């Protein structure tokens, strides 16, 4: 009854609501049991109101972007999974190399928008799955670049329902981390500053990075990207490969034969499969190399 009433209230706020939503449909790993309620808010104001409704009812809330850096439990998620709409360029604003964009915008769409406006600086991000908000949340990066290099500021929704402007120095951006993780806040918009450049030159760099991704990464299978963080002084994929674990399989989960830093869903993998595989990889690498691998992927539920 509590969730039914909440669903009705969320719909009154122009939110899309799905009950018992299979999280496998909303994560790049294609793994995860049902969420009690999946609520998609049209904007930050509506999201704040949904958060207040959940707080009144003492219901847990999980913020969701594109689900590209998480592994959801087979039992699913209790309470509310809340995400922001924003999958078009309609809300984008560009002036003098500065782009303001909603957090729900796919990162690849922002990259193309920058290219079409003759702006460079985001080429490294072309092909990174996920949304702008998720990229800021974890300071996403690749090929020597990271979001911190181009970010100016962001607006975030905090657990108390407040929306605050956060300047770059306050974000505490580091390797796959930010202040938003510490404070359990969700990014609702971001501002990036880019450099004018020839669109054809920008396109060439984007396509080169995409070609390298396709050559070296198992993009044909569901995954959460690089599963482990890069240990200081090492590369996780190289350590895993040197331990003879390329192709190592537990159930439907496998260490990719193409890139050992990726754990892939070969078909029908469960969260339990992935967690068991990851644990055994960590044990073997620690035994062989004395290095503790730390997951980059967030475990949910």
Residues tagged active-site: 176, 226, 296
Distance between CA 184 and CA 254 in Å, rounded? 31
List of residues 6+ apart from 101 with CB closer than 8 A: 91, 92, 93, 110, 113, 132, 189, 190, 191, 192
- Quick one: residue 70, left, alpha or beta (phi over 0 = left, psi -120 to 50 = alpha)? beta
Angle, to 10 degrees, between the axis of helix 2-12 and the axis of helix 44-56? 160
Q: Give the E-state strand segments of the chain in sequence order.
A: 16-22, 34-41, 61-64, 70-72, 77-84, 93-95, 98-102, 119-120, 141-142, 145-146, 151-157, 163-167, 186-193, 195-196, 223-226, 249-250, 253-255, 262-265, 298-300
**DSSP tag of 69:** S
Tokens for 261, please give them. Answer: 């830093």
DSSP string, 236-247: HHHHHHHTT-TT
Q: Computed from CA positions of residues 125, 127, 133, 134, in that sequence, does the dihedral angle turn out positive or negative?
A: negative
| Cα radius of gyration rounded to whole Å, the chain | 20
Q: Computed from CA positions of residues 272, 275, 279, 284, in that sequence, does the dihedral angle turn out positive or negative?
A: positive
In the sheet that holds 16-22, the strands lie side by side as 16-22, 34-41, 77-84, 61-64
């Amino acid at each position: 009854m509590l969730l039914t009433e909440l669903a009705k209230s969320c719909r009154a706020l122009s939110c899309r609501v799905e009950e018992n939503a299979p999280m496998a449909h909303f994560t790049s790993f294609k793994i995860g049991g049902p969420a009690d309620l999946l609520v998609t808010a049209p904007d930050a104001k509506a999201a704040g109101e949904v958060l207040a409704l959940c707080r009144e009812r003492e219901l847990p809330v999980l913020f969701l972007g594109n689900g590209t850096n998480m592994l959801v439990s087979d039992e699913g998620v209790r309470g509310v999974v809340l995400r922001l709409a924003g999958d078009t360029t309609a809300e984008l604003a560009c002036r003098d190399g500065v782009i303001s964009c909603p957090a729900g915008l796919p990162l690849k769409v922002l990259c193309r928008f920058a290219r079409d406006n003759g702006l460079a600086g985001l080429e490294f991000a072309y092909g990174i799955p996920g949304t702008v908000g998720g990229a800021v949340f974890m300071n996403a990066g690749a090929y020597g670049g990271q979001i911190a290099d181009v970010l100016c500021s962001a607006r975030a929704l905090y657990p108390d329902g407040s929306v605050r402007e956060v300047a770059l120095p306050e974000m505490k951006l580091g390797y796959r981390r930010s202040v938003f993780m510490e404070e359990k806040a969700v990014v609702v918009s971001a501002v990036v500053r880019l450099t004018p450049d020839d669109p054809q030159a920008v396109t060439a760099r984007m396509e080169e990075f995409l070609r390298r991704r396709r050559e070296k990464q198992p993009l044909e299978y569901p995954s959460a990207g690089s599963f482990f963080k890069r240990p200081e002084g090492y590369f996780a994929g190289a350590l895993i490969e040197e331990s003879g674990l390329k192709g190592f399989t537990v159930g439907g989960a496998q260490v990719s034969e193409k890139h050992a830093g990726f754990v892939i869903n070969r078909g029908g993998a469960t969260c339990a499969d992935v967690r068991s595989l990851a644990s055994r990889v960590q044990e073997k690498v620690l035994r062989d190399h004395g290095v503790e691998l730390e997951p980059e992927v967030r475990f949910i539920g």
